[in-house]
Structure 1
Amino acid sequence: MKSYNTIIFDCLYIVFFSFGIFSYIFKAILGFNYAYTLSILMLVTLSLVVMLVNGFKTKCFHLRIYAVIVFFILFFISTLNDDYFSLYSFLYELFKLSTFFLVLSLISRISSNGHRKIINIVIVFLLLNFFILIFQNLFGVTFVEKFGLPIVDKMQILYGRPNGLTENANVIGSFSFLSMVAFINFYEKKREFKYLIFVVLSFFIIMLSTSKTSILIALFYLSFFMNNKLIRVFAIVLIFTLASYLYVNNVYGLESKVIRYIDGFNNFEATLLVEGRIRYWIIAIQIFIENPFGLGLGTWGDFSSSFNNKVVNSSLYTKTSDSALSHYLVEQGVFLLLYLHILYRYIPDFNKKGIFFISIVLMFTTNFGFSQQIFLLGTWFVAGSIYFKESY
């Protein structure tokens, strides 16, 4: 018989997870911009309560002291750079870096029944996005506005990028990739056909999203499930063939994107007009060369730095680097390797953990990572599929 604590934690986790995953609806229709932030705060608070109730005896407890030491190093580096240090921005960034780890304690305590409900919620979310993305691809991105769902990010209209029930194409693409990984985990344990259907559904949504990074990473990840070496080689060749086809025919604007990247490397000033992400990568590398130990947390590349009055007027400053990895590189310097090591250690062990970690790091190069809408929820969904697949 389940304890009252388990039932309460299950219910609250389901409510806050659902609130977060459908947060775009609250933002687009009701104008409530803080639904996702509120859901994350509630999940972190709930996880801290779990730690207190259970005396910090969680599956990832043995890593906590190690993590604290590394974050202390980051704090020390931040305070050394007094010209850039802002306590509020530092704490905000530290919270963002820690959130993924904190909620794992909660996930490791959720019952199997609770995770079944989370699976159902994710399936509903994916199905809604599947049909919306089909309509947006067939009839245009603004098609959903006829049904009272406005496009918040007008850049999606300008570039014709379908966004489904999320902020943009990259958000739904990356979340669908994480869902695909989770459903593969469920399928490998139970060998139930329904999970394979949801793997396929997730993959189709990735393709419909037009997110080039998500498509290529999904193909990269799937290629490692080919047990026969000859089939694996064939799959890799197929991936490069598909990528070549997408490039030659400029499908999803792939050729245009590559050309803009090349222009950015050849002419730095051109990046002001053609490709912001590559411009900021060049700036990040320049700052890293000058500050190999990092500028400190809350100084560059993410919304957390926008509260730091010491850096916002710098000519090289941006709060929208559009790349978690370049953002981490500037702020953490060489200690980025320690942070990534902690991230790898905290991911629960499963069959393709190493490939999954590489996939996450690759995604960090072209999106905001844990600062991106519903990305955290996707990683927690994967963690849940690992912790609890034995109970299904």
Structure 2
Amino acid sequence: MNSEPTPSFPSRLPNVGTTIFTVMSALATQHQAVNLGQGFPDFDCDAHLVDAVDAAMRAGHNQYPPMTGVPALREAIASKIEALYGRRYGAADEITVTAGATQAILTAILCCVGPGDEVIVLEPCYDSYVPNIELAGGTVVRVPLVPGTFRPDLDRIGAAITPRTRALIINTPHNPSGTVWSEADMLRLQELLAPTNVLLISDEVYEHMVYTPLRHESAARYPGLAARAFIVSSFGKTYHVTGWKIGYVAAPAALTAEFRKVHQFNVFTVNTPMQHGLAAYMHNPAPYLELPAFYAAKRDLFRQGLANTRFQVLPCEGTYFQCVGISDLAVSERDLPEAEFCQWLTREVGVAAIPLSAFYGDGFDQKIVRFCFAKKDETLRAALQRLARL
């Protein structure tokens, strides 16, 4: 063993520890619990997609691709956005393929945020946003979504904008609440940002999981938002391949140029055969067009089962997450903080969930936890059978 002391240095992220997702997944494994905590499917992707990637490998697509992404894939992305949202992005200079959406968000922040810049985040929010801003040297400005409904409070968002505001991050459909922004929300946001230079980072990774009668209101639909937006999406979420870590960013050419300056040095390129496979697979739009019905069936199965428990089942307009209130459970359980309740639920009931307090900087506890229903029907039924004890 080396006895020499290891040099110390100030942590760039002194407040960051092991994520709640890692903690709960490890606890689920330890207690052989049904893991409805971390947001990934337990079923396979379409075999035709795997075949397309295999064919790309066998065709020799195994060396570095262009830094910005395989041209055929960028063309397919541009065509999809135009067909769905009515805005045509230039495949050459406005679409960039990324190593997942998390990298895309970090790169978007690093390319435009510096010391002294403020970035507004809407809580509860995905756990990478705040550390990304801190790594860039920016200042986090937290604005809560309306407690209980998780709708955006546009008045509070407007009040938070200052001359130092560089960017605003929005997420619709929203993780963790499953709330979907409306056309009225987006129009009001467009109005608020119009007289400013504030950039928009629009996290739309669950864009294809919006349930009837709603539709996904992409920032691409709104000219005043699209002109200032980095729009982020994820093939992992759309095609059930979260482990592939491939996503993309659509942004105006001037923003994309700055984005790519950072992208080329923190990732440079993204897995070549998977890009070619995805480009071929995207010729058929049915897999993403049919996704809302696919997940709505799972949502409905899960919600019907939860109706037989004492959980308060909150609305789920999009994503593959279902939030529930725990205030009506037995006294001993409902008095636990959300994080302790989730640990108790994993150990004693055998189902893992995520506390909503983990998505707030101050640990705001509303007695609400989040389940993921992107699971096989038999997995959901097994979890519901255990939850019926509550």
TM-score, L = length of structure 1: 0.31
Higher strand share: 2
TM-score, L = length of structure 2: 0.31
Higher helix share: 1
